[in-house]
Amino acid sequence: MSSILVNPNQKGNGLLKFIRNVPWEYFDDEAKHPPADYILGDTTGAVFLSLQFHRLYPEYIFDRMKALLRHFKCKILLCLVDVKDHERSMKQITKSCLLYGFTLVCAWSNEEAGRYMETFKAYEKKSADMIKPKSEPDFISQLTELLTTIKSVNKTDSLAGIMNADINELAMCSGIGQRKHLICLGVNICGTNFSRHKCKVRFQQWFIKNDVYDIQFMSLNLCY
């Protein structure tokens, strides 16, 4: 499918004039196609909703979403936020998207909505690899990535503080659970220039020195 297939019920929708970089066309026989407003590919369909329209006909969108339950792997609700007080409506719509398995995409103008449609079509067959975070293969980068999953830890001052903290200071930090606490402690014990094997040896030495034999700690295989 090389074009976006548009339901004839979308004639007059302002976003259509902003779909310029990918082809689109109205589909002829509605009975032969799933009841979507925009068919973006074999597995992707979208329903359009204006919040102004939603306020006049609040049940409309829920009926449309129910009709698409058995169609498409990826179901999109493209919502045009064209009212000022939108919080209550958006809360209700968001809950319904979770219930019916829709991805909610909000646009604040027809131009923005048109760009979303172009992007959905252009990236229809692209893999997710380009937006996945890339993990560095070296040990220090992986350790830094693990430590910075703690909400309050960044890669500068906080990370340096962890490396210089003792066991009692680490135990007082909120957000650092048992596993991360041991990992943080390992940074202190091992430093950042040790290999994994040397870190294990230093851990074992520290356990013996401090009489730490907690089975849960040991079962972590020293976090590696």
Which CATH number is 19's domain given?
3.40.50.10130
Q: 145 and 127, same structural domain?
A: no
Residue 223 has pLDDT above 60, yes or no: no
CB 206, CB 189: distance < 8 Å = yes
189, two tokens: 């014990």
The confidence score (pLDDT) of residue 144 equals: 64
* Strand spans (E) along 32-184: 38-39, 44-50, 74-80, 102-107
Q: How many CB atoms lie within 10 A of CB 190?
A: 20
Residues 65 and 44 in one domain: yes
What domain range is 34 assigned to? 4-131
> Do 18 and 68 lie in a common domain?
yes
pLDDT of residue 192: 45
Q: What's the pLDDT at 19?
A: 92
- 215: which residues sit within 8 A by CB, 6+ positions away? none
End residue of a domain, out of 106, 131, 156: 131
Is residue 120 located within the same domain as residue 153?
no
Q: What percent of the chain has pLDDT over 70?
A: 55
Instruction: Name which residue leads in pLDDT, 142 or 98.
Output: 98
Show contacts of 147-155: CB within 8 Å, 24+ apart. 147/180, 147/183, 147/184, 147/187, 149/180, 150/175, 150/176, 150/180, 151/175
Q: Which of 80, 98, 131 is the last residue of a domain?
A: 131
For 1, half-sphere exposure in the C-beta direction (CA atoms, 13 angstrom radius) is: 20
More confident residue, 72 or 159: 72
Question: How far is Cα 90 from Cα 130, in angstroms, rounded to an integer?
Answer: 30
- Give the tens place of pLDDT for each residue, 57-94: 999 999 999 989 888 888 999 999 999 888 888 999 99
One-letter amino acid at 12 equals: G
Give the chain's domain count: 2
Mean pLDDT for the stretch of residues 43-50: 92
Rounded-to-integer distance, Cα 110 and Cα 117, Å: 11
> What whole-number distance in Å separates Cα of residue 180 and Cα of residue 157?
18
Buried b (16+ CB within 10 A) or exposed e, 146-165: ebeebeebeeeeebeebeeb
